[in-house]
Amino acid sequence: MGAILKELHNSASKFQFPSMPNENVDVKRETSYQEYNILGKGKMSYPSGMGTQIIKWSGYFWGAGRKKLASVNQKWIAPKTCASKLKNWQTKKTPLNLVVSEAGINEDVTIKSFEYKPFGGHGDYSYEISFVPYGDTKIYTTKELGIEKKAKKKKKTTRPSTKKSTKKKKTYRIVRGDTLCGISRKKYKTESKWRNIYNANKKVIEAAAKKHGRRNSDNGHWIYPGTVLTLP
């Protein structure tokens, strides 16, 4: 039984196993099951498709002293060279075509596992190897496909300002001879605003009147120099 490996993307790079597999070539494929916890029944398993197919066998790479063994093909290859080539393909995950004509196998594969060890005094190696199907499936990032997700811009919410107005209020200091009508005429070009001035400064005007011995200001009639009024 002969087995040949060939790189899918470089047909010139190939490897023929120098000796036949030690025993039969195993091809294994199991059904995949998904487990569910069903209320009142416990854990149940249901088929969810086929699992990965695995092809595997074990064998020997015979040392130079055993070149003429019946199990060695026409071309002998040093065990160290065999192990190095297969390990390199495994490490690089190289896509390969595997042909085992007697077993009816012609599959595109990658090497899933490869283990070997020297034994005896003739430079022989024993090995175990397994393969899984190669699917030419490529996984792209959204950037490579040109469909990068645009980050959603958060709508800016305008909150009412909590800062107190820094606008300075206008004031007026009463001088001798002033009246509210006169102040209104001076500041607003009309005497009609005197009531507004009084209402805005009622506490201050009434306090000043009492300070000067009056019961009240008589609605702003009595005002006194030095009193500071806020102009509305």
Please give the residue that has the higher pLDDT: either 217 or 161. Answer: 217
Please give the residue that has the higher pLDDT: either 222 or 102. Answer: 222
Distance, CA of 51 to CA of 59 (rounded, Å): 26
**Mean pLDDT for the stretch of residues 184-193:** 91
CB-CB contact of 165 with 200 (8 Å): no
Sign of the CA dihedral 131, 132, 135, 137? negative
- Quickly tell me which residue has 């102009």 as its tokens: 231
Structural domains in the chain, CATH included, are 4-35+43-133 (2.40.30), 171-230 (no CATH)
Please give the residue that has the higher pLDDT: either 110 or 67. Answer: 110
Distance, CA of 156 to CA of 159 (rounded, Å): 9
Distance, CA of 17 to CA of 22 (rounded, Å): 12
Question: Taking the complete model, does pTM exceed 0.85, yes or no?
Answer: no
Tens digit of each residue's pLDDT (9 = 90 or more) over 10-68 = 888 999 888 877 777 888 766 655 666 666 667 766 655 556 688 898 988 888 888 77
- Phi-psi region at 195: left, alpha or beta (left = phi > 0; alpha = psi -120 to 50): alpha
Q: Reduce the DSSP state of residue 200 to 3 states and report it.
A: helix
Q: Which amino acid is at 184?
A: S
Identify the pLDDT of residue 21. Answer: 78
Q: How far apart are the first and last CA of the chain?
A: 110
Please give the residue that has the higher pLDDT: either 113 or 73. Answer: 113
Identify the pLDDT of residue 227. Answer: 93
Identify the pLDDT of residue 49. Answer: 56
